[in-house]
Amino acid sequence: MPDKGYLALVLHAHLPYIRHPEHEHFLEERWLYEAITETYLPLLKVFERLTRENIPFRLTVSLSPTLLAMLVDPLLKERYLRHLDRLIELADREVGRTYHTPFHEMARNYQEQFREARRVYLEEYQGNLVNAFKKFQEAGRLEIITCAATHGYLPLMMVQPEAVQAQIAVAVNQYKKFFGQTPKGIWLPECGYAPGIDDILKKFNIRYFFTDTHGVLFASHRPRYGVFAPIYCPSGVAAFGRDVESSRQVWSAKEGYPGDFDYREYYRDIGFDLDYEYIRPYIHPDGIRVNTGIKYYRITGRTNHKEPYVPAWAREKAAIHAGNFMFNRELQTRYLNTLMDRPPVIVAPYDAELFGHWWYEGPQWLEYLIRKIRYDQDTIELITPGDYLERFPCNQVARPCTSSWGNKGYHEVWLCRANDWIYRHLHLAAARMIELADTHPYAGGLLNRALNQAARELMLAQSSDWAFIMNTGTMVQYAVNRTKTHLLNFLRLYDEIKSHRIDEGWLRWLEEKNNLFPEMDYRVYSKEYETA
């Protein structure tokens, strides 16, 4: 039998909901703009080119509901364009400034990249990146999956299963609205799994999710194929475990590809490097230096000494690394073929924002990898978990181990001394929300609006991003404020609803400010909630 194996590449795209109509220039809003220019558009460009050249590929992409909501938000779209225009202006100036320096070629690359981004964003996609991704799902290239509504860390929400149910229900409903079908799979935020979550997924006909390696490996019954085949939870929902080797090759900043000395250095940005008066119009209006996205150096070495970036060298490395990645998957497959009586599936999930934003050459690498898999070998085949389950519907049954892909593999990142205080509030708010849903089965009018907004505020407070940021120690104040503000908004709405004194002006302000999930139905918190 010829050697045969599957590679399931998974890109998880997520940003927390950051939208501040009250400030024109909001630092954290830039995360979205940077991700669009540096990650989403470059990835789409790769998909476009491969499709145009008739090179088949199958990838899994999870688009978190908060990201989708931001990508279609008119205010953020307008602001993105303004942001991009400033960036183009800066790039234009840079082309002049760097004339006759080793940076000139890169300056022109940036100019070209940003102008191209503007053209594609406006003309090809009419400002709608959701439809851009959707197009590739319909063409059979992407399997788009969902994520929990606001990226809530589900294992620590299982104190109230209805709170998890609501996160899933809102995600699934939004997915149906955007993509016209039910999501086959889900990316559990931070790969956070705990028993019982799969029962809720089952209720929504979600067929699979991912765990970190030990989530499958340490399952209740020893999995015969390790992480190289999915297991079924007793509920029948499949769990795919992350492969260690392919993860490390890409993820690790030290031993992984992104740390190669020829690749672009992320931490040398002209927003910090250039003369203050020159750069001032392009950083934050309060004079706070920020990353502009224009970076001229390669990693060079382990010291602070940096040499100019040479695009041709980096491109060459991306091709070499793609070849190396493929070669290792072939080796892995051949080895596994001697141990398994079916083709292994190697699951390689990454944060989408790693590609392009952190690892500038990431999209190039992905494109080379897909081309090489097509032309240079016939051992491995790209697959999505949905396709795999159709080919191999019989799988071992075991209960995955509670786990996450965070540091140390369990919940500590989201439950440590820096953030443990949030749970007494989050759980209480969830209990109150469930109570509201159970006591108001048929609310209409203003009451209905208040209940829906209460659900939005609770969900925004539950974003795992806040707990994560509190743990990392940078931008902590923002994360703390977001958690507290949404909780306070919720608590006030709860009191107003209970005392029949809803302040409509304030409610309208909240609805405009925290406007995600317009299709919100607070009944998702009801114990009796039935999926459509």
Q: Site residues for other proteins, window 409-448 (CB under 8 A)?
A: 409-412, 415, 417, 420-421, 423-425, 427-428
Residue 224 CB: number of other CB atoms within 10 A? 14
Q: Which of 3, 307, 351, 511 is catalytic?
A: 351
SS3 347: strand
| Min CB(408)–other proteins separation in Å | 5
Give 431's Cβ-side CA count (13 Å radius): 7
* Residue 485 makes contact with other proteins by CB under 8 A: yes
- Please report how close the Cβ of residue 151 comes to other proteins at its closest, in angstroms: 18
26 belongs to the binding site for other proteins (CB under 8 A) = yes
| Positions 142 through 161 that interact with other proteins (CB under 8 A) | 156, 159
Distance CA 369, CA 307 (A): 27
Q: Site residues for other proteins, window 88-127 (CB under 8 A)?
A: none
Stretch that binds other proteins, among 301-309, 349-357, 482-490, 522-530 (CB under 8 A): 482-490
The answer to whether 206 touches 180, Cβ cutoff 8 Å, is no
Residue 339 in the binding site for other proteins (CB under 8 A): yes
Window contacting other proteins (CB under 8 A); options: 70-78, 236-244, 268-276, 360-368: 236-244
Q: Does 395 bind other proteins (CB under 8 A)?
A: yes
What distance in Å separates the CA atoms of residue 205 and residue 237, rounded to the nearest whole number? 9
Q: Which of 478, 502, 511, 529 is the binder for other proteins (CB under 8 A)?
A: 478
Q: Which is nearer to other proteins, 65 or 409 (CB)?
A: 409
Q: How many positions of this chain bind other proteins (CB under 8 A)? A: 73
Instruction: Report 193-212 residues binding other proteins (CB under 8 A).
Output: 207, 212
Q: Token pair 């609310």 is at which residue?
A: 443
Rounded alpha-carbon distances, angstroms, from residue 402 to 20, 270, 451: 36, 43, 32
Residues in the chain: 532
Among 140, 180, 236, 518, binds other proteins (CB under 8 A): 236
- Quote the least distance from Cβ 483 to other proteins, whole Å: 9
Please confirm, yes or no, whether 138 is among the known catalytic residues.
no
In whole angstroms, what is the distance from residue 45 CA to residue 240 CA? 28
DSSP letter (8 states) at residue 143: E
Within 13 A of 329's CA, how many CA atoms are on the CB side?
Answer: 36
Report if residue 389 touches other proteins, rule: CB under 8 A: yes
Does residue 242 contact residue 211 with C-beta atoms inside 8 Å? Answer: yes
C-alpha count within 13 angstroms, C-beta hemisphere, residue 361: 29
d(CA 206, CA 237): 7
Handedness of CA 401, 407, 408, 410 (dihedral sign): negative
d(CA 211, CA 241): 5
Does 254 engage in binding with other proteins (CB under 8 A)?
A: no
Question: Smallest distance from the beta carbon of 425 to other proteins, in angstroms?
Answer: 5
Does 297 bind other proteins (CB under 8 A)? Our answer is no
Using CB under 8 A, which of 220, 291, 328, 448 touches other proteins?
Answer: 220
Establish if 391 lies at the interface with other proteins (CB under 8 A). Answer: no
Q: Record the tokens describing residue 483, joined without a space.
A: 């958690």
Please pick, from the candidates 3, 4, 27, 137, the single residue that binds other proteins as defined by CB under 8 A. Answer: 27
Least distance to other proteins from the beta carbon of 199, Å? 14
Respond yes or no: is residue 378 known to be catalytic. Answer: no
For residue 299, the tally of other CB atoms under 10 A from its CB is: 21
> Does residue number 28 form part of the binding site for other proteins (CB under 8 A)?
yes
Active-site option among 94, 143, 190, 465: 190
CA dist 75 and 513 (Å) reads 11
State the nearest-atom distance from the C-beta of 143 to other proteins, in Å. Answer: 17
Q: Does 333 bind other proteins (CB under 8 A)?
A: no
- Tell me, what DSSP letter sits at residue 209? E
For the annotated catalytic residues, the residue numbers are: 190, 351
